[in-house]
Amino acid sequence: MCRGPPTFDGVTVTFHNPPAAPPPAAAYSNLAEIDLGGTTLLILAGQVALDHTGGLVGGDDMRAQTKQVFEVIDALLTSRGATFADVVNIRTYLADMSRLREYGEVRQSYLGDARPTSTTVEVSRLFRPGFLLEVDITAVVPAKS
């Protein structure tokens, strides 16, 4: 049975899997859009360096994987009218903290002057061998005037 989007005290949550981003690797949505009465909260699922066929992009190249992750994040944000300037929080999971500089250089090229809150942790492994990082994002999109 198909139901409409969930609501919480009148706030509607809509889940999206825009075709510009690779499909989710399991039973989840890439993006939750929460309408807060004009302002929109976007919560992105953790993104890894997947292509549209579910293959790993970049091999053991941290920069290439990071670029793929941020390209997918950009596509997800753009699909809802947002940009990296709207990002308020980034959570990053690295399989090897010694590669933080490589990740940070690519990340900065996407963020520009934006300075969202950030958490970066090292994890023992990600959901599939070969993935070097996973990144999830929260963004706030102001009401359009």
Write the pLDDT tens digit of every residue in 63-113.
999 999 999 999 999 999 999 999 999 999 999 999 999 999 999 999 999
7 band by pLDDT with thresholds 50, 70 and 90: low
Strand order of the sheet with strand 11-16? Answer: 7-8, 11-16, 31-35, 40-44, 133-141, 87-94, 117-122
In a domain, 134, yes or no: yes
In a domain, 51, yes or no: yes
Query: How many other CB atoms are there within 10 angstroms of residue 124's CB atom?
Result: 5
Show the beta-strand stretches assigned E in 65-104: 87-94
In a domain, 1, yes or no: no
In this structure, what token pair is assigned to residue 8?
């919480």
In a domain, 100, yes or no: yes
CB 131 within 8 A of CB 58: no
The CATH number of residue 25's host domain is 3.30.1330.40
pLDDT greater than 50 at residue 1: no
In a domain, 2, yes or no: no
pTM value is 0.92
Domain tally, the chain: 1
